[in-house]
Amino acid sequence: MTLVEKILAKKAGKKVVKPDEIVEISVDRAMIHDALGAHTIARFRELGVEKVWDPAKIVVVLDHYVPNKDIDTAKKCLNIKKFVLEQGIENYYEVGKGGIAHQVLVEKGHVLPGMTLVGVDSHTTTSGAMGAFATGIGVDEMAVVFKTGKLWERVPGTIRINVEGKLKPPIMSKDLMLVILKRLGISGALFKSLQYTGSAIRGMSIESRMVLTNMAIESGATNGIIEPDQKVIDFLKARMNQRFEVVHSDPDAEYAETLEFHADDIKEPMVAVPPKPSNAVGVTEVEGTKIDQAFIGTCTNGRLEDLRIAARILKGRKVDKFTKVIVIPASQEVLKAALAEGLIATFVEAGAVVGPPTCGPCMEAHMGILGPGEVCISTANRNFQGRVGDVTAKIYLASPATVAASALKGKISDPREFF
């Protein structure tokens, strides 16, 4: 069996599972955030049970609409906090304590290899970088998970994405992922799992790997996953003291498909043109496109290495006079490290606005919303029409390096000029 099949078999209490089989799995971690948490709680209350199945397995992170932007968002967050206190949920991250849920789950050591994690968010797949089965569900299902600790799942067949070689800066894992999505298309992995393997993946930081698992959902995949190696083990040991067992794919595992990629074949930074994350082109094809906003942040690319490469490009320079440049670290921990390294000072001096750890203008939640006809280049994961404001606004997706280079010129620009 593949890594995912082995995890699901174990959690379903079965010796063997096969792709497309329906199984009932036990849930090790369940995450809600402010965008859908109050809805989950309302549906849980409808079920008529008083206590959640296991408060220690629930993680609550306020990240989409914080600091609260209006009365509606404040009310929903209050309902969530009340529930957390009433149920005795310890893993609660108030604004200023956590950051974006997918980042917090990993950096606080909540997700361990071999675990099952569900969240009321499609990008819950991010935690697959820890070698866990991590996927998104809706609020009614989460209410039932809160009651039972169980979830049904259609076992996804595994598509192996094998990447050899080494990405050369400023080419980043985001560029690789846009290339992968171009090949797969937006439904290329529907009801399947993406497992990333190969020397390029092994050579990557955990932060870079999280970009790949984060955007697995953009191919329709149930989840994205990477076998945990020593890097992951060391990372986790520094963050928690729980025992865990590392699960590997069997040598004779059957893959639905193997797609081969080589780092050397990515000749230039990539940009996904609106309105699909799978619409990747080389940066030179869209170079010079005028932008109104440049955004560096999100659960895709708001980590320390992302801020470092952006700061390297922005240091000692000024961003374009007419471009709104927004930098939002993915978590308090990232913000703290970026402050210590002087990255935040670099952004502020360059003329960018730095926001508190939150989802920001990745979706139409809070801050950085686009007006009619505006163009944004963003490090986020989705560029659907109308995702971040007016339906006529346009979103281009790129790496932090490409977004930083574009911020300087007020138009889509090739970061290689700065390397």
Partner 1 sequence: MELKGRVWKFGKDVDTDELFAGRFIMGGDETSQSQYQEFIARSGLSDVGHRENVPKGFLAKVRKGDIIVAEENFGIGSSRQQAAETLKFKGVQAVVADSIHRIFFRNFWNLGCPAIDLPGISAEFETGQEIAINLRRGTIKNLTTGKRFEFRLIIPTWFIDMVEAGGLIPYHKSLHNVKSKNQSAK
> Footprint of partner 1 on this chain (CB under 8 A)?
20, 22, 35-36, 38-39, 42-43, 46-49, 64-65, 70, 72-73, 76, 79, 119-122, 124, 136-141, 143-144, 147, 152, 154, 186-187, 190-191, 220, 222, 276, 363-365, 369, 382, 384-389, 391-392
- Euclidean distance between the first and final Cα of the chain, in Å? 43
Amino acid at 76: K
136 vs 355, beta carbon nearer partner 1: 136
Q: Smallest gap, in angstroms, from Cβ of residue 185 to partner 1? A: 9
Residue 15, token pair as written in the block: 């010796």
Question: How many angstroms separate the CA atoms of 363 and 194, rounded?
Answer: 24
Q: Smallest gap, in angstroms, from Cβ of residue 275 to partner 1? A: 8
Residue 153: strand, helix, or coil: strand
Q: How many CB atoms lie within 10 A of CB 322?
A: 9
11 vs 382, beta carbon nearer partner 1: 382
313-317's contacts with Cβ under 8 Å and 24+ in sequence apart are 313/401, 313/404, 313/405, 313/408, 313/415, 313/418, 314/346, 314/347, 314/350, 314/352, 314/404, 314/407, 314/408, 315/346, 315/350, 317/350, 317/408
Residues written for the chain: 419
Question: How many angstroms separate the CA atoms of 248 and 76, rounded?
Answer: 41
Question: How many angstroms separate the CA atoms of 74 and 392, rounded?
Answer: 29
| Phi and psi at residue 189, to the nearest 5° | -125, 25
Residue 169, token pair as written in the block: 């800066």
Q: Smallest gap, in angstroms, from Cβ of residue 152 to partner 1? A: 5
122 vs 289, beta carbon nearer partner 1: 122
Residue 134: strand, helix, or coil: strand
76 vs 312, beta carbon nearer partner 1: 76
| Phi and psi at residue 396, to the nearest 5° | -105, 135
| Phi and psi at residue 242, to the nearest 5° | -90, 145
Question: How many angstroms separate the CA atoms of 124 and 141, rounded?
Answer: 15
22 vs 348, beta carbon nearer partner 1: 22
Alpha-carbon separation of residue 22 from 120, 151, 191, 222 (angstroms): 21, 10, 12, 13
Q: Smallest gap, in angstroms, from Cβ of residue 26 to partner 1? A: 16
64 vs 303, beta carbon nearer partner 1: 64
Q: Smallest gap, in angstroms, from Cβ of residue 194 to partner 1? A: 13
Q: Smallest gap, in angstroms, from Cβ of residue 387 to partner 1? A: 5
* Contact call for residues 1 and 16 (beta carbons, < 8 A): yes
10 vs 76, beta carbon nearer partner 1: 76
76 vs 108, beta carbon nearer partner 1: 76
Q: Smallest gap, in angstroms, from Cβ of residue 334 to partner 1? A: 23
Q: Smallest gap, in angstroms, from Cβ of residue 344 to partner 1? A: 27
72 vs 254, beta carbon nearer partner 1: 72
1 vs 217, beta carbon nearer partner 1: 217
Q: Smallest gap, in angstroms, from Cβ of residue 252 to partner 1? A: 25
Q: Smallest gap, in angstroms, from Cβ of residue 202 to partner 1? A: 29
Residue 255: strand, helix, or coil: coil
